[in-house]
A and B are shown apart, each in its own frame.
Chain A
């Protein structure tokens, strides 16, 4: 008797899960854009900030004002852009993986 009630429960859970998926997906997509934007902006900005800091400290130490600051601002921007590209690639890869999984799950059900 215990086993059958467990089977019953697992069937109910499976049914509830099936109904839940689209809702969850929709919500994820809405918040996704915001999170993505935040992440990319943070990457770009932090590149610039680090470039600024390195340049400023080196200038102060070596007495080469303002040249290293200028150079490192550009290097920082470049690093920021590299980081943004990497982050975008990561997000894309995660998206692809998610889509593949979703396709597989749908294939199993159908």
Chain B
């Protein structure tokens, strides 16, 4: 039987090589494309009629819109509305990615690759820093100087604050990545127990049912966490304390 980590393997589907760089179309790329397509179909087809009294599907679309809009408004205030499209795209993309990973037999969670999550987190980090710099100019660096600290401790505190600021993309990406890897590995390991134990496999099987529920929750929760942390970082950049 395959090991529990075999599910994360990247397989090349269409080899592409440009100037010595391997940019092949892999199963990971395929699922990113499916996720983007899924979000698009979900949004466009749901709003196709744009009825005043929404149907079920349209209601889902409107709820997801309102959910992210409220989250952004609560966390970062009125000014952050400009960045709604970005946060919404991020949230829906990660949500669909995580949920696609839960599809039996076929699913592949590309959010279980640190390369993917770190690319997203680094984009958020650089973007937010640039937004802060553009808005506040040099004053932005006040973010690193804790108020009311004694002068003698300032150098140490500033270094700690800078390191703490630099941890943001790491913690953002590691959290999503670790959650997805841990969940999927656990499912696979207990799946192996079901097969190995024969008739007694019913016990781990029951556990897997519960675990699958938890994993669905984690899939949604992590998309939410990624989005809300993006909002909080935006808030830090827009409204310096």
Contacts and interface: CB of A to CB of B under 8 A. Distances in A.
B178 A82 contact: no
B217 A54 contact: no
B163 A45 contact: no
Interface string B160-186: 110110110011001100110000000
A42 B163 contact: no
B59 interface: no
Which interface class (under 10, 10 to 19, 20 to 34, 35 or more) fits B? 10 to 19
A76 B163 contact: yes
A30 to B, nearest CB: 9
Interface string A69-94: 00010011011101100000010000
B175 A42 contact: yes
Main secondary structure of the interface of B (DSSP, over half): helix
A50 B178 contact: no
Nearest to B166: A50
B175 A38 contact: yes
A15 B69 CA distance: 27
Nearest to A86: B164
Interface in A33-56: 34-35, 38-39, 42-43, 45-47, 49-51, 54
Contacts of B166: 50, 54
Interface string B209-228: 00000100110010001000
B221 A46 contact: no
B221 A82 contact: no
A45 B177 CA distance: 13
B171 A43 contact: yes
A108 interface: no
Contact of A39 (B159, B164, B225): B225
A5 interface: no
Given A46-B171, A47-B164, A75 B217 contact: no
A46 B170 contact: yes
A29 interface: no
A31 B171 contact: no
Listed from nearest, the 8 A-B pairs whose CB atoms lie closest are A46-B171, A46-B170, A79-B164, A79-B163, A42-B175, A46-B167, A50-B167, A42-B171
Interface of B: 159-161, 163-164, 166-167, 170-171, 174-175, 178-179, 214, 217-218, 221, 225, 232
Given A72-B163, A75-B160, A79-B167, 16 more contacts: A31-B217, A31-B221, A35-B221, A35-B225, A42-B171, A43-B167, A46-B167, A47-B164, A49-B167, A49-B170, A50-B167, A79-B160, A79-B163, A80-B164, A82-B160, A82-B164
